[in-house]
Amino acid sequence: MIQKDLTYKKNLPRNIIGKLLTFASFCFSTIAIAPLILVLVYVVIKGGSVLSVDILFSEPQPPGDDLGSAGGIGNAIVGTFIITGIATLISLPIGVGGGIYLAEYSKGGYFARFIRFGTNVLSGVPSIIAGVFIYAVIVVTKVIYGSMFSGIAGGISLSILMIPTVIKTTDEGLKLVPDELRKASLGLGASMFTTITDITLPSAVKSISTGVVLGLARAAGETAPLIFTALFSYYHITSFSDIFYEMSSLSVLIYNFALEPYKAQNELAWAASFILVTVLLLMNILSRYLGSITTNK
């Protein structure tokens, strides 16, 4: 029978099913965002409440030494900056260079296809494997000035995780640059080099920086590659040569101190989480902001 009447009938099976499904999808998204809110609330309450100037600048105390205080996270903050800085220094030229090759020079041949595929595979390599790899080739062999666990080794292992992100966003960012610009420049007799450095790269720089910031944010929060490359240190960095020795970082500090039975150390882990999460969320929002100016252009 053909429905001749046009009114909305809420008892119709299709309308009941529709309502149920809409409600279910609403519930699913509520469940999906609940963890973010819960984690943020706890990090802010537990971490924010113990935060003090002293904690921000001083060194941590070894667990059990002083039950009342666990010291601070000053050296871990500095360490995180240094290690991710090293990772950026390594992954930026490789990532941007590789991305330029893929987007500007390659003509979809075998090599380029393999590199694209390899980039995707590398981005799926578990972060702990990167740590294992660097442990085997750098820490055990002591190739870097005879040092074993070091900030440099940690930075290198993080760079393995950053490279795929930087390559991908460079590649995609350059592909978004209209071909007319490229042709216009080449048509004037400019070389590929000047075309890329003067025309295409500047047009893509915003999307590339989005990718770099995202990659950086991911690397800064990583722990697994650091626990047996950079290890941990209880002391402030005093000289440049300290990057060849064990170095602390916020993420490893959280891992180590979360599992300690002492309340003071646990609180320090929360404080470190507060700093880390705040910085990472800000970086993410920054990368989104960079992305939005690109699209508005």
* Total number of residues that touch another protein (CB under 8 A): 97
Q: Map the footprint of another protein across residues 93-112, applying CB under 8 A.
A: 93-98, 100-102, 104-106, 111-112
89 is an interface residue for another protein by CB under 8 A: no
Minimum distance from residue 238 beta carbon to another protein (Å) = 25
Distance CA(205)–CA(65), nearest Å, equals 50
What tokens were used for 167? 């390559």
46 is an interface residue for another protein by CB under 8 A: yes
Minimum distance from residue 44 beta carbon to another protein (Å) = 12
9 is an interface residue for another protein by CB under 8 A: yes
31 is an interface residue for another protein by CB under 8 A: yes
Q: Cβ closer to another protein: 67 or 259?
A: 259
What tokens were used for 296? 């508005």
**Residue tagged 């902001």 (tokens):** 289
User: How many other CB atoms are there within 10 angstroms of residue 266's CB atom?
Assistant: 19
Candidates 228, 234, 244, 245: give the one binding another protein (CB under 8 A): 228
Is 51 in contact with 125 (CB distance < 8 Å)? no
24 is an interface residue for another protein by CB under 8 A: yes
186 is an interface residue for another protein by CB under 8 A: no
187 is an interface residue for another protein by CB under 8 A: no
Is 244 in contact with 151 (CB distance < 8 Å)? yes
292 is an interface residue for another protein by CB under 8 A: no
Distance CA(251)–CA(76), nearest Å, equals 8
Alpha-carbon 22 to chain mean position: 34
Give me the residues paired with residue 19 across strands: none
Minimum distance from residue 240 beta carbon to another protein (Å) = 26
If we measure between CA atoms, which residue out of 84, 47, 48 comes closest to residue 217? 84
Minimum distance from residue 261 beta carbon to another protein (Å) = 12
Three-class secondary structure of residue 246 per DSSP: coil
User: For another protein, which stretch binds (CB under 8 A), given 69-77, 175-183, 235-243, 250-258?
Assistant: 250-258
Q: Cβ closer to another protein: 114 or 241?
A: 114
Three-class secondary structure of residue 126 per DSSP: coil
Cα angle 147, 119, 135 (rounded to 5 degrees) comes to 20
If we measure between CA atoms, which residue out of 205, 123, 194, 135 comes closest to residue 160? 123
Give me the residues paired with residue 195 across strands: none
Minimum distance from residue 110 beta carbon to another protein (Å) = 12
Is 196 in contact with 68 (CB distance < 8 Å)? no
223 is an interface residue for another protein by CB under 8 A: yes
Q: Map the footprint of another protein across residues 265-284, applying CB under 8 A.
A: 266, 269-270, 273, 276-277, 280-281, 283-284
Q: Cβ closer to another protein: 92 or 237?
A: 92
Distance CA(259)–CA(256), nearest Å, equals 6
Minimum distance from residue 151 beta carbon to another protein (Å) = 17
Minimum distance from residue 239 beta carbon to another protein (Å) = 26
Distance CA(144)–CA(223), nearest Å, equals 22
Q: Map the footprint of another protein across residues 193-222, applying CB under 8 A.
A: 193, 196, 217, 220-222
Q: Cβ closer to another protein: 145 or 193?
A: 193
Q: Map the footprint of another protein across residues 116-145, applying CB under 8 A.
A: 117-122, 124-133, 135-137
